Amino acid sequence: MRPPTAIVTSRGAKRLAAGHPWVFRSDLAEAPAGAAGVVRITDPRGQALGWAWWSPASEIALRRVERDSDATIDGAWWRARLSHALARRAPLASDTNACRLVHGEGDGLPALVVDRYDRWLVVQFLSAAVEAQRALVVDALQELAAPAGILARNDASVRAREGLPRTVELVAGDVPEEIEVNEHGVTYLAAPWTGQKTGAFLDQRENRVMLRAHARGRALDVFSYHGSFALHLARGADTVTAVDASAQALERARANAARNGIGTLACVEADAFDYLRDAAARGECFDVIALDPPALAKNRGSIAGALRGYKELNLRAMRLLAPGGMLFTASCSYHVTKPMFLEVVREAAADSQRPMILRALTGQPLDHPEVLTIPETGYLKGLLLENGEN
């Protein structure tokens, strides 16, 4: 039986040739017959371009997964692609028991996210074609990672654009409410069923360790979630304050502090903008600050507002920074590019009247590969800044 075939326009083919796997609906010269799944793709002259995920409901109609038209997307293919992704993460094994095993397009597996928390996996099937192959994916993961359980956190909003329901489902075995994560000697509880993302923010692991090297005196972790930066900062600082708007997250931060034998974590439930303003008014001063807000730009239309937010937050944080103090500031907004973020932090530095020294510019860790030709795989950028005043 001939597999369903999609014909892409020459513009679509050009985009593929430039290294981006997506073909938009407007670049579909002929849609494949049949439901969501794996389809062959060709250019308008019939030249084979490999295989793609087909999403009938989405603006992103095709996502190329395989350039070799002679390949077969079966269990063996999935095992090969997944073992490649797993092998890339091997260097992390000695430092943590939690990492992203599959970062979608960044690992050549569009619309699939797999995070490992100790012996459990949390999976997100983010397109109709990946959902259609769920059994193959689960079998391959069982074989390669032998997890104690697999949870599908299919409640991500992008599922709606694929015409897929938003659910949280146990796919295999059992998955506990909380899982203990070990991260460079710090332990914390991740909440795979109910936590943000798949239960924790794995993408800041290395940045926490980087900032920890500068921890001393008074430390502040703004947008702390469950104390992620704070737990590391407590290793070197005398006092640590964790600020977050979520009472639930701070409750876990307290439990995480106790778990690490930290008696000096002050948790403050507050709006971060207000907290930073009030702390400045009180004349407070910190030696090290982590500033890790949620994505302030959710879409292109909200970039201008987001930039104002980033500037405000960074300016306020810089004003709280002691001479010689270190600020780690991050943006996880995909729509705010690296140059935009650097520029807005530069503006904040100018307004702060402090000589802020750029000590490091960071991107994504090993387990969140950012492919240069696929901008959507990159979203996280960070700056380590030192207040150069004496």
What residues make contact with ligand SAH under the rule CB under 6 A? 201, 204, 223-225, 228-229, 244-246, 249, 271-272, 292, 294
Q: Write down the least CB distance from residue 328 to ligand SAH, Å.
A: 10
Structure tokens at 272: 């971060």
Are 137 and 78 within 8 A, CB to CB?
yes
| Closer CB to ligand SAH, 54 or 229, in the complex | 229
For the beta carbon of residue 383, count every other beta carbon within 10 angstroms. 23
Vertex 254: Cα angle to 379 and 240 (nearest 5): 70
| Closer CB to ligand SAH, 240 or 249, in the complex | 249
Q: How far is CA 60 from the centre of its chain?
A: 20
Q: Could you list the beta-strand ranges (E) of the chain.
A: 5-8, 22-24, 28-30, 37-42, 48-54, 60-66, 98-103, 112-117, 120-125, 149-154, 167-173, 179-183, 186-190, 218-222, 239-244, 265-269, 286-291, 321-331, 356-362, 381-387
End-to-end CA distance of the chain: 75
| Closer CB to ligand SAH, 228 or 352, in the complex | 228
Among the listed residues 99, 267, 285, 332, the single catalytic one is 332
Q: Write down the least CB distance from residue 105 to ligand SAH, Å.
A: 22
| Closer CB to ligand SAH, 40 or 319, in the complex | 319
| Closer CB to ligand SAH, 62 or 191, in the complex | 191
Q: Write down the least CB distance from residue 196 to ligand SAH, Å.
A: 6
Structure tokens at 211: 């900032």
Q: Which long-range contacts (CB under 8 A, 24 or more apart) does 243-246 make?
A: 243/268, 243/270, 243/272, 243/275, 244/268, 244/269, 244/272, 245/269, 245/270, 245/271, 245/272
Q: Write down the least CB distance from residue 199 to ligand SAH, Å.
A: 11
Q: Does the active-site annotation cover 332?
A: yes
Q: Write down the least CB distance from residue 208 to ligand SAH, Å.
A: 7
Q: Write down the least CB distance from residue 377 to ligand SAH, Å.
A: 20
CA distance linking residue 48 with residue 32, whole number of Å: 14
Of the CA atoms within 13 Å of residue 268, those in its CB half-sphere come to: 19
Q: Write down the least CB distance from residue 298 to ligand SAH, Å.
A: 12
Which of 189, 184, 175 has the alpha carbon at shortest distance from 147?
A: 175
The label of the residue with tokens 């201008």 reads 304
| Closer CB to ligand SAH, 29 or 280, in the complex | 280
| Closer CB to ligand SAH, 22 or 275, in the complex | 275
Q: Which residues are catalytic?
A: 332
